[in-house]
Amino acid sequence: MRPYTDQSGPAASPSSGDAVPDRPTAAAVAVERPVAAGDRRRKWRSRRYRWDTKYSPYAFVAPFFVFFAAFGVFPLLYTGWSSLHRVSLSAPNDMEWVGLHNYTRLLEDEFFWNALRNTFTIGVLSTVPQLLMALGIAHLLNYRLRASAFFRVAILTPYATSVAAATLVFVLLFGRDYGMINWALEGVGLGKVDWQSGTLSSQVAVSTIVIWRWTGYNALIYLAAMQAVPNDLYESAALDGATRWQQFLHVTIPSLRPTILFTVVVSTIGATQLFGEPLLFGGAGGQKGGASHQFQTLGLYLYEQGWFNFHLGRASAIAWAMFLILLIVAGVHLLIARRLRKSQ
């Protein structure tokens, strides 16, 4: 507490301060001080107060920005710098200037284009079904339900499962000879699929892991947005004779447009960075993304170049290329969003 010794009397205003010795209130008597000391104290206090209001905001944001500068901005810029050099993992301080070589090399690198293609197709294969399913599930959860709390928690449990744990299980489930999925496919007469070695099949398998982990989470985000839609809209639509499907199409979806855009952006960012699922789906030597790189993503290619081929400079160039792709993707989303808003 602040020592407001002078405020025991109701008449004492804060501005009159300690320097009123001729009105001996109980506290003032108890803390007898010379006028000058009180004066100095008050001055110091008001100066401290002024400093406090002026500088404490900086103190509050400082921890964030210190860490952010050290582990966010500096590495970002330094990645750009090292992408212009030949840097080996075995001697990272030994940098040799090569200009844009790492980038031009990337453009001629078939593995880079392969990784870019794979990242795109896996991104589409995982994001589109995931968000469509999430939308449907959210719509169902928005009805009055028994055990709705149970459903909500249960569909979120995959979100609590780590990439590593989830992928390890799915590797077994997708096993060619003894996996449960092939066993079921054979049971219904469809025959086994070699989930590991085919291009499409392996990418479907990797996408399945992503879909499994994130659909419930996105469903809850959609559900939250649906619950913010005023119910009058549905009531008047129902009065106009709209069926449930028409209500979903003409009331729910338009109201959810910002949320849908948000989830599309977040999922796209996640898809661009996809790493853990394909790495562990590949088992030993997973950084290759399969024997013929059939499911190697950009994240995996960066990891392979940097930490298996020891080319940190090339890895940096790949990182910047990924960032560029993200910016393009974000720009496209923004454009689509603006187009949609105009067309309304």
Partner 1 sequence: MKPTKPTPRRPVLRVRAGRHLHGGPLTYAVLIVFTLGSLFPLVWTAIAASRNNTRLSQTPPPFWFGGNLFRNLHTAWTDANMGLALLNTAVVAGTIALGTVLFSTLAGFAFAKLRFRFKNVLMLLVVATMMVPPQLSVVPLFMTVAELQWTDQLQAVILPTLVSAFGVFFMRQYLVQALPSELVEAARVDGASSLRIIWHIVFPAARPAMAVLGMLTFVAAWNDFFWPIIALTQDNPTVQVALANLGQGFVPDQSVIMAGALLGTLPLLLAFVLFGRQIVGGIMQGAVKG
Residue number, 254 or 285, with CB nearest to partner 1:
285
> Which residues, at least 6 apart from 152, have a Cβ–Cβ distance to it below 8 Å?
141, 220, 223
- Is 135 in contact with 122 (CB distance < 8 Å)? no
Q: How far apart are CA 340 and CA 117, in angstroms?
A: 28
Q: Name all contacts of 19-28 with Cβ < 8 Å and 24+ positions apart.
A: none
Please identify, using beta-carbon distances, which residue of 100 and 343 lies nearer to partner 1: 100
Please identify, using beta-carbon distances, which residue of 149 and 343 lies nearer to partner 1.
149
Q: Smallest distance from the beta carbon of 173 to partner 1, in angstroms?
A: 7
Nearest approach, Cβ of residue 83 and partner 1 (Å): 8
Q: CA–CA separation, 15 vs 316, rounded Å?
A: 62
Least separation in angstroms between CB 140 and partner 1:
5
By C-beta, is 228 or 340 nearer to partner 1?
Answer: 228
Helix H or strand E segment including 45: helix 35-68
| Contacts of residue 19, Cβ cutoff 8 Å, sequence gap at least 6 | 35, 38, 39, 42
Smallest separation, CB 132 to partner 1 (Å)? 13
Closest separation in Å from C-beta 114 to partner 1:
18
Inter-CA distances, 221 with 18, 131, 217, 265, 335, Å: 58, 11, 7, 14, 23
Instruction: Retrieve residue 95's tokens.
Output: 């940098």
What span, in angstroms and rounded, lies between the C-alpha atoms of 283 and 300? 13
Which one, 24 or 165, has the nearer CB to partner 1? 165
Identity of the residue, 24 or 62, whose beta carbon is nearer to partner 1 in the bound complex: 62
Q: How far apart are the C-alpha atoms of 182 and 309, rounded to whole Å?
A: 35
DSSP-H helix ranges across 161-297: 163-173, 180-187, 199-227, 231-239, 244-247, 253-255, 257-272, 276-281
DSSP bridge partners of 279: none
CB of 185 to partner 1, least distance (A): 12
Minimal distance, residue 11 CB to partner 1, in Å: 18
Closer residue to partner 1 in complex, CB, 11/59: 59
